[in-house]
Structure 1
Amino acid sequence: MASKVTFLGLLALSCYVASAADQSPLQDFCVANRNSTVLVNGFACKDPKLVEASDFMFTGLHLLGNTSNPVGSRATPVTVAQVPGLNTLGISMVRLDFAPFGVNPPHTHPRGSEILTVLKGRLEVGFVTSNPENRLITAILRKGDVFVFPVGLVHFQRNIRNGKAIAIGAFNSQNAGVITIANAVFGSKPDISSVVLQKAFQVDQNVISQLQKKF
């Protein structure tokens, strides 16, 4: 009797876990209706009768990104914000352009894993595992190489050559999100207390103040 109760309990738990996972689309598509005032986890659907080919298209991924910025890189996203037809499909992508020795600074994607393919140049890439190990897993990628960044982990890319580099990233989310660590920590609005940051980074308050001014 006890084993039967245990089995039924495990069965109920597995059903609960299954129901808690993302659901598969229940229709052909759900093009995002950006004018809707309905708040849902994603976007409300546009009337299918009003859907057009342009809802599923993005033009310009062949264009070089402007890398004239302090970090020397530029991301051109193709998410549900650019392509309404991605709504509910669980996919998106990004083009990454790097100036010579440019960096895509340490960041995370809270809602999606990323698979990166190098199209041009040579990149140093890596991610850091979670506490307490905080192990850096890194590699040098050449044209045609692929690397995976697990969801939520801090990662980066760096152009190690004196020439431009290009990569394409794909995500298992319509909007994987981006949290750039330096911007979030030192550029929050309002500022995180300098006392908190001093304790966290074990540096003088003047250093914290300088970093907050930069971001």
Structure 2
Amino acid sequence: MKSVRYQVAFVVLALASSIASAFDPSPLQDFCVAINDPKAAVLVNGKFCRNPKFTTANDFSFSGLNIPRNTVNRVGSNVTLLNVDQIPGLNTLGISLARIDYAPNGGLNPPHTHPRGTEILVVVEGTLFVGFVTSNPDNRFISKLLYPGDVFVFPIGLIHFQVNVVETPAVAFAGLSSQNPGTITIADAVFGSDPLINPDVLAKAFQLDNKIVINLQKLFGGNNN
């Protein structure tokens, strides 16, 4: 009888292990519509794979990340993302890198999310105030002031930002746990979508006057005419 119980327990553990390991892989695109036509099959992570015999060092390298970027824009920041599009060798490796330059006195990497990757940020120059917001219903705001050499982690999918709080430029580097982590900048997505979201919807969602929403949509590149 004891032997039977052991056998049953072994089968249950084996099934649990099988189920636990049979998870869906993290998507590397916004969506993939299922089709039955084999001629329209998707590529590996959206990319063809080069024959390994023909790969070179250039497939795995990038030069110029030491050069400061232009931060003269409406938010005062510039993100240089090195994903699979810039470094082909990253395909299937699940990692990417970014340099973020911040203008003095308020240069902002505005609230955004990476739907497919966790971010780990290290400050090289300047002083950054950073933070992220946890998911509903708590919506906790977790923040910290970072100095050169400090590191901070932004969990996958959560809204986060960084802002330079000193009178000199700031620079940070970030690693992301996807070859194509994606970026959704909240204000651009909400007020600059194409086509525009109905202003009545946004006015009710943000508890704003309809005219304010329309002005924000124009500011972010939309046109209600």
Q: Normalising by structure 2, report the TM-score.
A: 0.84
What is the distance in 2 between the residues matched to 1:2 and 1:204?
67
- The residue aligned with 2:81 is 77
- Determine which structure has more spread, i.e. the larger CA radius of gyration: 2
How many residue pairs were aligned? Answer: 202
The secondary structure found in structure 1 opposite 2:172 is: strand
2:192 pairs with 1:195 = no
- The residue aligned with 2:98 is 94
Quick one: which of 64, 72, 86 aligns to 1:68?
72
- Per the alignment, do residues 122 and 2 of structure 1 end up closer, same or farther by CA in structure 2, a change over 3 Å counting? same
| Corresponding letter in the other structure for 1:122 | T
2:165 pairs with 1:148 = no
Quick one: which of 128, 137, 140 aligns to 2:133?
128
Deviations 1:132-154 (A, max 9, x none): 11010000000000000000000
8 Å CA contact retained: 1:38, 1:44: no
What is the distance in 2 between the residues matched to 1:119 and 1:134?
29
8 Å CA contact retained: 2:130, 2:143: yes
What is the distance in 2 between the residues matched to 1:52 and 1:154?
38
8 Å CA contact retained: 2:45, 2:91: no
Cα deviation for residue 48 of structure 1 reads: 1.1
| Corresponding letter in the other structure for 2:190 | V
What is the distance in 2 between the residues matched to 1:188 and 1:46?
35
| Corresponding letter in the other structure for 1:93 | L
| Corresponding letter in the other structure for 1:97 | D
Cα deviation for residue 198 of structure 1 reads: 1.3
Aligned sequence identity (%): 54
Cα deviation for residue 40 of structure 1 reads: 3.5
Mapping for residues 23-42 of structure 1, pairs under 5 Å: 38-42=42-46
| Corresponding letter in the other structure for 1:63 | I
- The residue aligned with 1:113 is 118
2:28 pairs with 1:17 = no
What is the distance in 1 between the residues matched to 2:9 and 2:215?
59
8 Å CA contact retained: 2:110, 2:162: yes
8 Å CA contact retained: 1:107, 1:156: yes
- Per the alignment, do residues 191 and 7 of structure 1 end up closer, same or farther by CA in structure 2, a change over 3 Å counting? farther
Cα deviation for residue 181 of structure 1 reads: 0.2
What is the distance in 2 between the residues matched to 1:150 and 1:6?
36
Unaligned runs of 5+ in 1: 24-36
Deviations 1:195-215 (A, max 9, x none): 211111011100110110011
| Corresponding letter in the other structure for 2:78 | R
